Amino acid sequence: MRGKISVGTASWSEAEFIGTWYPKGLPADERLAWYAEHFNLVEVNSTFYRIPTPEIVQSWSAQTPDEFTFNVKLHRVLSHSSGPEFLPPDLRPKTVVKNGKVSVTPALESEVARRFIKAVEPFEGAGKMGAFLLQLSPSFGPRSNELKDLDHLVSCFRGKKLAIELRNRSWLAPERSQETENWFRKHHVTFVMVDGPDDPHFMVLPSHDLITNPRLAYIRAHGRNASQYVRGRTVAERFDYDYSNAEIRELARRAKKIVTHSDELHVVFNNNKADYAPDAAERLLKMLSTKRAKTEREAAYA
């Protein structure tokens, strides 16, 4: 393999993990350290809802060992789907709201990006900063948007690793896929590949391998629950999927192929029902290792 594969989950503080994966009675302030004993990568999900302070980021960094990596999800206002109530209070009076959603201006993008970059300085100093992750809304699609609408935001993170997950499959329609690929390559942005349901709904991206930045490739595994992915009302319902061993082996083969074309690959499990995500991540790590021992769940599936 050319590069390094890191595996983790889309949050360490998911409520579903408590009582199913974390040891019973483990204090909340010890969960990150315990998580870091099992994985060397995590997505910070709380930053989707609020911009952290450098002090909080420093505390997270201090709880993890060297070689641990944090990918930081950007605030939901940058996904073009947020109401003003989710912005920091001091920014709310300065924003324009249309149909209940914040109008994302270059000035707002610049300020939110500045605050994020400042907040993660402790990660940068400790060598633990991975990528900024922009998870766009399914409403951000070719009918009403163009990828160049993101040009200014991308420029705010110039020199940083930036990964973008599209959630409208029209961007990968045959007549548009090359244009999409060209935009990502031109801007040196990592296209987030997914593992998800096999479903034609516009909110479901196909599991399409596309490496647009050789520095970093990225897979987010959402599970393959087609009926709930679109119709589920809660995170646990939408991502209620327990990967089988055969599917984990399929992901392992995919990861090994992808990383031959990139310096590193991040695989993040987002099937956040019960302990499904950390369990799948642990099984994938074992399958990627040359020395393996069956987990209890592998034995049960055998």
- pLDDT of the residue at 95: 87
Query: pTM for this one?
Result: 0.93
Domain ranges of the chain: 4-301
Neighbours of 26 (CB within 10 A): 13
Residue whose C-alpha is closest to residue 220's, from 178, 277, 264: 277
Amino acid code (one letter) for 276: Y
**Segment 54-86, tens digit of pLDDT:** 999 999 999 999 999 999 999 999 987 788 888
Q: For the chain, which residues score pLDDT lower than 70?
A: 1, 290-302
Is the sign of the CA dihedral 82, 213, 188, 176 positive or negative? negative
* Sequence-ordered list of residues with C-beta below 8 angstroms from that of 249, at least 6 positions apart, any chain: 287
- pLDDT of the residue at 258: 97
Helix (H) or strand (E) holding 297: helix 296-301
Domain 4-301, CATH among 3.40.50.300, 3.60.15.10, 3.30.70.270, 3.20.20.410: 3.20.20.410
**Segment 91-128, tens digit of pLDDT:** 988 888 888 888 889 999 999 999 999 999 999 999 99
Task: Return the bridge partners of 293, or none.
Answer: none
- Which structure tokens are listed for 87? 């912005």
Q: Which residues of 135-147 are buried (b: 16+ CB within 10 A; e: fewer)?
A: bbbbbbbeeebeb
Find the Cα–Cα–Cα–Cα dihedral 247, 195, 217, 179, rounded to 10°: 140
